[in-house]
Amino acid sequence: MKTGIISTGYEVDIYAVLEKVSLPREFFDVIVGADTVKKVKPHPEVFRFALRKLRVKPIEALFIGDQVDVDYKGAEEVGITPVLIQRTDTEVSEVTGLRVIKGLEGVLQFI
């Protein structure tokens, strides 16, 4: 399985977070920051760039994000299966058909 990160932050900031949580950047096959593509989520080119780097088709990809408008809808627009991770105790707005998980362990049901 290939893995990647798409973030609205800059690559240097992504690397700092990975280091802080002791996760080697080499764990990911692609890391896309705001400075990588010069566009940010939900722009389709951000997702397409990651797909090209991973050499996968949208139908073969799964995108996990925590924002409906930026992550979920952005991935869905290019044909990637989106999954929303609910990071707080607040209720997710009721939108029919949203795939929602409470924690990363929930992603296994979509693989």
Contacts of 80 (CB under 8 A, 6+ apart): 47, 51, 58, 61, 62, 63
CB 54 within 8 A of CB 61: yes
Helix (H, G, I), strand (E, B) or coil at 9: coil
pLDDT (0 to 100) of residue 109: 86
Domains of the chain: 4-110 (3.40.50.1000)
pLDDT (0 to 100) of residue 96: 61
pLDDT (0 to 100) of residue 104: 80
pLDDT (0 to 100) of residue 44: 97
Q: What is the mean pLDDT of each run of 10 residues along the chain (111 residues)?
A: 95 96 96 94 97 98 93 96 80 69 84 82
